[in-house]
Amino acid sequence: MALKSSSADGRTRSSIQIFIVAGLCCFFYILGAWQRSGFGKADNLAERIIKSTADCNIIPNLTFETHHGGDVGPDDDSESKSKIYQPCPSRFTDYTPCQDQSRAMTFPRENMIYRERHCPPQQEKLHCLIPAPKGYVTPFPWPKSRDYVPFANAPYKSLTVEKAIQNWVQYEGNVFRFPGGGTQFPQGADKYIDQLASVLPIANGTVRTALDTGCGVASLGAYLWSRNVIAMSFAPRDSHEAQVQFALERGVPAVIGVFGTVKLPYPSRAFDMAHCSRCLIPWGANDGMYLMEVDRVLRPGGYWVLSGPPINWKNNYRSWQRPKEELQEEQRKIEETAKLLCWDKKYENGEMAIWQKRLNADSCRARQDDSRATLCKSTDTDDAWYKQMEACITPYPDSGSSDEVAGGQLKVFPERLYAVPPRVASGSVPGVSAKTYQVYNKEWKKHVNAYKKINKLLDSGRYRNIMDMNAGMGGFAAALESPKLWVMNVVPTIAEKSTLGVIYERGLIGIYHDWCEAFSTYPRTYDLIHANGVFSLYEDRCSMEDILLEMDRILRPEGAVIFRDEVNVLIKVRKMVGQMRWNTKMVDHEDGPLVPEKILVAVKQYWVAGGNSTSTQ
């Protein structure tokens, strides 16, 4: 009997041991999953939000409203700060690292080399915060911003003097007023666009994306907006101080840029229209190289508009105060290059001429017999970042017939925003099919809906100039599409897929950029920045600090940032931006707390040179 009792006790102990081991296994499995989700690292904050609100995505303590001034409020980050970033000296208020004037003057002036991007080496990069000028205020909301800019935000009067008779900009009290005039449109940009629209298919949505070269204060882009045309405007940082800065203060897309020796940072077949109004670009120089670059970025069937010299030089050379022989030779070179490119002149009246690029190579067989028609040898026509411009013609993609659009026919806007882009339909983007493209768009609609719950001002007009630092195929911008805002879609040069061409085929705009360098813009030019996976992408490539300081430079005071990344990355970001006068909150992925990807929202505090500052809390 004793033996049987002992055996029974042993079996009982064995059962208990098995149960304990199984229980411990389950406990550590659940604990591991919990830790991998990141919920135990930084998301006790999100847990408190869930308990304190009916909707877990609402952030009660972070305000996105503007305040402009006041005292510093309490910092919501309880973590100790090992470093506080100090303001840069006030002389850096309008610092543009890669277009710095003092550095530019050390480079040759030939072919505008000195106006191209020349970024500082690592040891010369600033590690301080660029201050806003005293008196800085949030820009007026669109459309008022189109016509008025606060003087304190860009306190430069040189254009009001140099362009006084051309109706560019006027100084009135504490604001600049932009009457909508220009050198080539003294009756206003609207009247000028009416003339364009009498020739170009603007009204029906065929012309959606435009490139405005040497844009001045971007009045053309400002007034094209009401015609549902979005213009990418660029001008150099030159003697006309603050052209691009004025454009962005007005709420018009623009970057600092120049026709020099390097290709434009856009893909091939991007723009429906390219425009030059007295842009001072020597189109006939360098064997027509600049016109050949326009041809590269112009889609088949697209239009090039030239307004001003040398068009109709016979009647205008006296008023232009230029020798007629010089103007005649300039126009001859332009006409010769246009013929070589197989552009058809569609219109010439007064000082305006319009050419149209043909649909495909089959419609330009005469060019094949011209010895001057050198085709570019590069197989990747979208590869433009720091690539030398060449005097060669970019080949058309293959087409099946003489009336087929090379590269694919685009829908009119807004239908083309969600139509399958030709680059996707043709399989030109590796791993992306029509089906996966539709899934991608659905996913981004869900993401943006979650953002709107976090920040209810997202599509209210509070944010006009928006940047997506890692735009993919433009899903974020498409889901946000509104006449109240525009998005600069940045495709990093190190991205796995080259998708900027897809973005343009959707009727959106964007640019190539490497975030290890400064962006081609002035400080304080974006109201909201979206950074999806940026720091995971650039891990081990360049400093997180450098990227965040650049984001701080281009973000307006009281501007907002939405980070989407792995939780371990966002914890580092959150700590660093807390040392940069930003207020932050972490929230869960919209699919729940067990998803490792999180959302970090941030607001940059208002402060200006000299110390006037306030928290947005």
Q: Which amino acid is at 479?
A: A
Q: Are residues 102 and 200 in the same domain?
A: no
Q: How far is CA 193 from CA 210, 212, 280, 398, 572, in A?
A: 13, 13, 20, 34, 49
User: For residue 217, is it left (φ>0), alpha (ψ between -120 and 50) or beta?
Assistant: alpha
pLDDT for residue 372: 78
Per-residue confidence band for 27, with pLDDT thresholds at 50, 70 and 90? low
Q: Range of 484's domain?
A: 52-79+92-132+414-614
Q: Residues 183-232: pLDDT tens digits?
A: 777 788 999 999 999 999 999 999 999 999 987 888 999 999 999 999 99
Q: Is residue 466 part of a domain?
A: yes
Cα–Cα dist 160/178, whole Å:
10
Report helix, strand or coil for 598.
strand
For residues 347 and 353, the answer to whether their CB atoms sit within 8 Å is: yes
Residues 98 and 215 placed together within one structural domain of the fold: no
In a domain, 403, yes or no: no
What secondary structure letter does DSSP report for 79?
S
Q: Could you tell me the sign of the dihedral formed by the alpha carbons of 152, 155, 161, 165, in that order? A: negative
| Residue 218 three-state SS | coil
Does this model's pTM top 0.85? My answer is yes
Per-residue pLDDT tens over the stretch 536-568: 999 999 999 999 999 999 999 999 999 999 999
Report the range of poorest mean pLDDT among 51-65, 111-125, 256-270, 332-346: 51-65
Task: Indicate whether 591 belongs to any domain.
Answer: yes
**Shared-domain flag, residues 217 and 284:** yes
Same domain, 210 and 338: yes
Q: How far is CA 47 from CA 274, 332, 603, in A?
A: 51, 71, 21
- Residue 156 falls within a domain, yes or no? no
User: Within this chain, do residues 567 and 463 fall inside the same structural domain, yes or no?
Assistant: yes
Same domain, 453 and 585: yes
Do 333 and 190 fall into the same domain?
yes
Q: List pLDDT tens digits, range 459-495.
A: 999 999 999 999 999 999 999 999 999 999 999 999 9
Report CA torsion sign: 574, 578, 581, 585: positive
Residue 424 pLDDT > 80: yes
Tell whether 346 and 456 lie within a shared domain.
Answer: no
User: What confidence score (pLDDT) does residue 145 get?
Assistant: 96
pLDDT at 48 over 80: no
Under the banding of pLDDT at 50, 70 and 90, the label for residue 19 is low
Q: What Rg do the C-alpha atoms of the chain give, in angstroms?
A: 28
Q: What is the pLDDT of residue 198?
A: 97
Q: Does 234 have pLDDT greater than 50?
A: yes
Strand partners, 388: 262
| Strand order across the 465-468 sheet | 509-513, 486-492, 465-468, 526-532, 555-566, 597-604, 582-588
Shared-domain flag, residues 118 and 191: no
- Within-domain flag for 147: no
Let me know if residue 392 belongs to a domain. no
Q: For position 349, which CATH number holds?
A: 3.40.50.150
Q: Say how many domains are in the chain.
A: 2
8 A C-beta contact, residue 507 and residue 413: yes
Tokens standing for residue 423: 């680059």
| Residues 325, 202 within the same domain | yes
pLDDT for 67 equals 53
Q: How many CA atoms lie within 13 A of 587 on its CB side?
A: 27
The average pLDDT across 605-610 equals 93
pLDDT, the chain, mean: 87
pLDDT digit string (tens) for 376-401?
Answer: 998 899 999 999 999 999 999 998 88
